[in-house]
Amino acid sequence: MNFSTHDRKMMARALVMAAKGRFTAAPNPAVGCVISIDENIIGEGYTRPAGENHAEIEALNMVQDPVGSCVYVTLEPCSHEGRTGPCAQALIDAGVARVVIACEDPNPQVCGQGIQLLKDAGIEVDCGLLEDQARDLNQGFIKRHEQGLPWVLVKMAASMDGRTAMASGQSQWVTTPASRHDVQKLRAKSCAIITGIGTQLMDDPSLTVRITSEQLGIDDVLQQPLRVVVDSQLQMSATARMLLQPGKTLIATLDGKSQREKSGALIAAGAEVVFFPAHGKHVDLHALLRDLADRQCNSVMVEAGAGLAGGFIAEGLLDELVCYWAPKLFGSEARPMFNLPINTIDAHLALSIQDVRQIGEDLRITMYPDKDY
């Protein structure tokens, strides 16, 4: 398909609209829609929080007469009845003439059915315009439906010699306030934040999003991500700070007599305790991620110490690594970024750098595992 310059301009605008929902649309995908007639935009919108309008409905609500128009949407219009009606049918009822779609919806309840519904109604449908950009915007939603697992981002803050804490465990603060503020944006985009019991006992973190919708430049209200503590022996106290915060806390532990006995106090304090199978002596991280995907978590962020963070990497579960590097040296006695069983140079994990930028006095580097290495 040879798309016109106008087509590309309209889909680029639809992607900008879609990005407005990246903090609030989950568990739905972040979708943008632009309606054009005679090369003029007459309506646009993006997917609002779950239960509210999808992007197509938001855009249609702006238009008095959509008959004969062209619709640009970043993801295939839904064809099923969920909390809202099917968007494909809404477009048909509106009398639009053409729909340009960036990428198909991997959700098996949609997956090609929305496109077919439009075609059966006599609407011209063209797919694949700026598909890579549209998929990048919904990496977690797509992975959850294609692989049954959420997108896993591991965040680390380290000194220039790759140390995350002193030998004592002291780690506040490695990076500057500017970097810590930037981390809040990563949290806001995540459906769940995962930490380990070591970090919980050392820092007693709240693991909350401490950034506002106004600071992010969005209209919708932010929700607190699910807090997840991986605690194989159930050492967490019922007085932990995160149990007093808005939102939910899940404690992932092993199924044992001791854990069962100790779980009551944590449940009474408001936590959900889930018993997982063991992988060695630890919680099976694959099982944990499958459970989170079943809870409709599109993306999770791991904020943990070297052991748990290294576990996600060693198990091949890493999708994205975001490192904040502070211009400091902590020395050889300080704790490393990851505990990884790599003994030869040939066994290294190759990473592909996606983005490098300065945040305050620190450097932020975003990397993906190099799948082709």
Characterize the bridge pairing of strands 299-302 and 351-359: unpaired
Q: What angle do CA 133, 138, 143 make, to 5 degrees?
A: 120
Q: Are 187 and 193 in contact (CB under 8 A)?
A: yes
| Cis peptide leading into residue 325 (ω within 30°) | no
Assess whether 56 carries a catalytic annotation.
Answer: yes
Token pair belonging to 42: 């007459």
Among residues 56, 58, 76, 303, the one annotated as catalytic is 56
Characterize the bridge pairing of strands 320-326 and 163-165: unpaired
Q: Tell me how far apart the alpha carbons of residues 292 and 41 are, in angstroms, rounded to a whole number.
A: 39
Q: Tell me how far apart the alpha carbons of residues 57 and 82 are, in angstroms, rounded to a whole number.
A: 14
> What values do phi and psi take at 44, rounded to 5?
-155, 155
Pick from 287, 252, 286, 255: nearest CA to 272:
252
Q: Tell me how far apart the alpha carbons of residues 301 and 297 are, in angstroms, rounded to a whole number.
A: 11
Length of the chain: 373
Q: Tell me how far apart the alpha carbons of residues 11 and 32 are, in angstroms, rounded to a whole number.
A: 9
Q: Tell me how far apart the alpha carbons of residues 287 and 274 are, in angstroms, rounded to a whole number.
A: 11
| H-type alpha helices, 32-138 | 55-60, 87-94, 113-120, 131-137
The alpha carbon dihedral of 39, 40, 42, 45 has a sign of positive
Residues facing residue 251 across a β-bridge: 229, 273
Q: Tell me how far apart the alpha carbons of residues 210 and 87 are, in angstroms, rounded to a whole number.
A: 34
Active site residues: 56
